[in-house]
Amino acid sequence: MRTPGILIIGLVLAPCGWILNLTSTVAPNWRQLYSIASQPSDTVINQGIWDICQSSSTTTNVICNLRGNDPVYFKNQIIPIAQGMMIASLIVTAIGLVVLTPAVRCWTDRPPRWTIAGIGGLLIFCSGVLTIIPIAWYTHILTSLNTTTTFINPQSPDIRVGYCIVLGYIGGIMEVLGGLSICVGFCRCCGGRNRGENPQPVRAPRTTTRAPNPIPYPRTNLPRSVTPSSSSVPYSRDSLDEDLDYPRAKNQKRGTVNPSYNGRPYDADL
């Protein structure tokens, strides 16, 4: 049976959003610190919710596991809240996909189980909300988070948004949209059109009537006259003319031919 389009949208957006949220959770790049005091000018401090890494804008060298160098940063209120909500979002998304997958099986002839699919869509929607809340909160207080890192210009520190914030926003929005598309199955305003549940009118089988076969015109067999001068061939031109059941065109009469070879030819002889 063909899977409805709203379920296909949810099945595509939810796993993609889950992968982006997983990357945003584990990667240590929620914000980037530039212009660090007593450090080379190309030094970049990448702070996440689990770890801190130090990299360089001119080389590919990355030093991680620097959590102990900045314990003040992890004491900010948003850090433990973001850790818990991001993990909860990943777990809820996984549960929603587990509930949703058997409800939308397209390899069987039965229709989707809309109640179970709607529950899975609601879980996926909630997981997207759980992702957007800490991401938006962290972005709002990005420059005011406490840290032991000193800047060259403390009055205007160079703090930038990391790629984890961008991935978190995209992943959360994808999960919200995917969950909403699946939850549409609960709505009665659609009248079942989006679910293929409207009964189709049963059409009567088309009956075709064949025209009766034409009845052939009966042939009349006339007795043939047998004469001593008749040919030995079992049929002759006269007998064929008698057997025909439709009128035959009359033979045209030939013009008279002058039998005299020495005579003068006329137009009638041609």
pLDDT tens string 165-213: 999 999 999 999 998 888 876 664 455 454 455 544 556 666 666 667 7
How high is the pLDDT of residue 247? 56
Distances (CA, A) of 145 to 5, 33, 231: 44, 12, 128
Residue 245 resides in a domain: no
Q: Cβ distance 134 to 90 under 8 Å?
A: no
Residue 96 resides in a domain: yes
Residue 259 resides in a domain: no
Residue 54 resides in a domain: yes
Q: How many helices and strands in the chain, by DSSP H and E?
A: 5, 5
The DSSP line for 214-265 is PPPPPP--PPPP--TT--SSS--HHHHHHH-SS--PPPPPPPP----SSSPP
The encoded tokens of residue 242 equal 């008698």
How high is the pLDDT of residue 189? 43
**How many distinct structural domains can be found in the chain?**
1
d(CA 2, CA 253): 79
How many Å from the N-terminal Cα to the C-terminal Cα in the chain? 85
d(CA 76, CA 89): 21
pTM given for the model: 0.66
Residue 252 resides in a domain: no
How high is the pLDDT of residue 199? 46
β-pair type (158-161, 31-34) = antiparallel
Regions of the chain short of the pLDDT cut 50:
188-189, 192, 194-195, 199-200
Residue 215 resides in a domain: no
Residue 205 resides in a domain: no
How high is the pLDDT of residue 185? 66
What's the CATH code of the domain at 47? 1.20.140.150
Residue 48 resides in a domain: yes
Range of the domain at 116: 5-186
